Amino acid sequence: MQGYLENFIHSILIPGISKLFFAAVVLVIGIIAIRWGVKKIKHVVYKSKMDVSLKPFIVSLIDALLKVLLVVTVVSILGVATSSFVAVLASAGLAIGLALQGSLSNIAGGVLILSTKPFSVGDYIEVDKYSGTIQAIKIFQTEIVTPDNKVIFIPNGTLSNSVIVNYSKKSTRRVELKFGASYEANSSKVISAIKDVINRQPLVLKQPEPFVRMSEHGNNAIIYTVRVWVNAQDYWEVYYNIIEEVKKHFDENNISIPYPQIDVHMKNN
């Protein structure tokens, strides 16, 4: 019995503990090395002239591949043959595929986004109920920053299958506004007042020419439609400037803006 115990300790227990200890050391050192290596790779990649949208994706992909390689190495140190390990993974392929279906679709979505380029880092987009500036496109998700500085993480699989509105894709945008004036106001005077406001806006582009026309006979007002073209980054500045200045010009020219009609039936209910 004692001989059997000694044989078990020397032939199985001690080698097993040694393998386990060595595997643990390799795992810890590997994790530290990967963190250090990825940090260095990130520094090199981000300083390169590579497409800015591709940089975070490549870094996160390298990080994932190195971690997979580390796991395979640790498993082989523990005595599990790599071929056997691969065979086990292959036999459980269906279950693993189902478990990782979301992750795989996100990776595929990331590749699709980077190849088709519906947007790039720095673009302002709207997708579903979210909108913001693209901060990074990573292996599993894309990060966008909202105007109020919240960071939203959208899975690449979801993003690649969604309708995306890219407000930064084109260098220019059209600002469209509608203004109401009373039926008593002279239409030529109203149009002249609006055009005067537009002509005083240095950020409004001369081509295409600004558009100002009467567009609707409302219940209690004549509606005038205004369309002007601006550089994309000037959109909101021009939008608010025109609204503020038209009100001032209407007041200066005694052009009244009727109050919206109230549905009496709805109010009484």
pLDDT in tens, 131-151: 999 998 888 889 999 989 999
Residue 48 has a pLDDT of 77
CATH dotted code for 172-252 = 3.30.70.100
| Topology, domain 109-166 | SH3 type barrels. (2.30.30)
Q: What is the pLDDT of residue 94?
A: 45
Mean pLDDT, 10 residues at a time, the chain of 269 residues: 54 66 84 87 79 74 82 76 58 48 74 85 89 88 92 90 90 94 93 95 94 92 95 94 94 85 46
Q: Which long-range contacts (CB under 8 A, 24 or more apart) does 56-65 make?
A: 56/121, 56/136, 56/137, 56/138, 57/110, 57/114, 57/137, 57/138, 57/139, 60/138, 60/139, 60/140, 61/139, 62/38, 63/34, 63/38, 64/139
Question: In the chain, where are the structural domains located?
Answer: 2-91, 109-166, 172-252
pLDDT in the model for residue 15: 63
pLDDT of residue 107: 81
What is the pLDDT at residue 81? Answer: 60
* Nearest by Cα to 159 from 189, 132, 199, 198: 132
Whether this prediction's pTM lies above 0.85 is answered by no
Rounded CA separation 222/215 (Å): 8
Looking at residue 200, its pLDDT comes to 94
Domains 109-166 and 172-252 share a fold: no
